[in-house]
Each structure stands twice: as structure tokens, then as C-alpha cells.
Structure 1
């Protein structure tokens, strides 16, 4: 149905469409999904995020991709790679990230999708290094980083989270081809 850039066993990865905005807005307004972020996001903030992803895709051929389950073509969130340019000793860099609807947690989608995005980044785009960042307290995301073969570099204080004590200390993982 959709025009997928690539697929994994159960997931389709694509550029964003207008139909995704309200669905991503619901995900971004879920307090459990956004537990390790400074706040939930408004629909306007979600719309701006999706627009940034569309522009990044046009510029680079990648972004945090909109993701559907292939079984029923249902949008479930995003998994992909994105430019990070905040001020740190490892930026600018390309990082991998994911945010899925809470109803889709525990099904292995983040791990499956992240592995496929790494393959795409290394084999199709020709990138040689991918990083992943999360607050130290986000153990579930850190587990995914380990499952996809990334190795821990270090802990650091994220400059964009300096006003959020429980989120500021982050961990960074990386994988090189």
C-alpha cells in the first residue's frame, strides 16, 4: 500500500505523510511514552518535528522514518537516523532513535526496526558511524542499544537537558562499520 523506502520482516519505513501528524501527536502526548523527555509535545510541536524530518529526508535521504506494521499498514511511530548538532564533543553526528505507540511496546519492533535502519545507514547510504543517546534512567532504550550491537562510549550531561535534573545525565552508544 505505502511507498516504503525499505522493509524489515514486520515493518515498513517511509517518509512522512500528512495523515501521520494526528497519529504522531497522540504518541507524543502520551505521558508514559514521553516519560524520559522534558514534556509531552503539543500537536504544533509534533507538526514542526514532522516537517523537520521531511526536510531532513529531502536533504539527506534519511530521517526518523515513519513506521508502519506490514501486517495491517498501521502507523506505529518512528524509527530511524537523524542529524544531531547540539554542542558536545561528539557532534555533529548521526544518531539512531525510536518512539513507538505504547500499544506496540514489548513486541520487538524497536530492536527489529533499529537493526534494519543500521543496515540501511551502513549499506545503502554509506555512513560509517552511528550513535545513540538516551537519559541514563531510560533503561529500555539502553537495552535496545545493546541488542542492536552498539557499544557504550560514556556518560555525559546533555546540554539541551540541563534544566531537567533526572534527564540531564545521558549515555551515548555507538556502532561503526
Structure 2
């Protein structure tokens, strides 16, 4: 969680999981749990989230990921994110997906690039103070293949 303002408490984590579940119930899609293939252990979540009005580039749908550190650099985030993008473009017929992260979060930015996303700019995250070390974000986008 070094690229987030603070680690989540157990209660905050449980509330986030409940919001993810509620989103899937309401829309049929959202952030999905990701399991390791070999033993079905929970390793994190990857998915899609609507952003109707929070950002200057809203409305949009973002793709995001959060995997446990033990599962980084193994291709799991890319595999799951590729499936989520496929769902966004084929099933939901969305035209564009965005992703963003703190400028400091080069591992996530590198995944965006590996997914074929293109850098679309930078912005100050509206939920963070302008002087917060995580305030400045990069924005990436990818359009549905023709």
C-alpha cells in the first residue's frame, strides 16, 4: 500500500470488499477476486470501476488492480487485467478504459504500458492535498480494438 495514502484498517478493508461486492450485484461487473490457479488462494483483486463524475476526464470506466506483494512480477496482474479489458470491450462494449496511479508508482504504470495502454497526461488527484507526495497522478487510456 505504499502508493496509497495509508494502509487500510481491517474495517476499511472489509467495507471496501463489501462495496466491490455491491457493485458486482448492482451492475454485474466490478472488481473481482483473483485466485492463484494452482491452489485457489486469494491473491488480490482486479477489475473495472465506473467513475461518473470524480475527475475532469469523467465519465469513464477505470481498470485497477491490487495484488499481494508475494504475487507481484509473476504475470498474474497482467493476465487478470487482460481478462478484465476483454470483458469491458467484448461484453460491455465500452469504447475506452482508463487507468491512473501516483506518478511514483512505476510498477503499475509499467503494467499499464504492457497492457497496451497509452499515456494521456497527468493530473492532481482531487481526493489528495496538492502537497501530498501521491497527489500527482499519471493517466493512461486504451480504446476498444476496431
TM range (shorter): over 0.9
CA RMSD of aligned residues (A): 1.3
SS in structure 2 at match of 1:154: strand
1:57-136 aligned within 5 A: 57-85=24-52, 87-136=54-103
Q: Which runs of no fewer than 5 residues in structure 2 stay unpaired? A: none
- Kindly state the Cα deviation for residue 92 of structure 1 after the two structures are TM-superposed: 2.5
Instruction: Measure how far apart 1:113 and its partner are.
Output: 1.2
Greater shift after overlay, 142-151 or 52-61? 52-61
**Higher helix fraction (1 or 2):** 1
CA distance in 1, matches of 2:52, 2:132: 22
What residue is the counterpart of 1:21 in the other structure? none
TM-score (norm 1): 0.78
Shift of residue 85, structure 1, vs aligned partner: 4.1
- Counterpart secondary structure, 1:117: helix
Runs of 4+ in 1 over 4 A off after TM superposition: none
Aligned to 2:111: 144
Structure 1: give runs of 5+ residues left out of the alignment.
Answer: 1-33
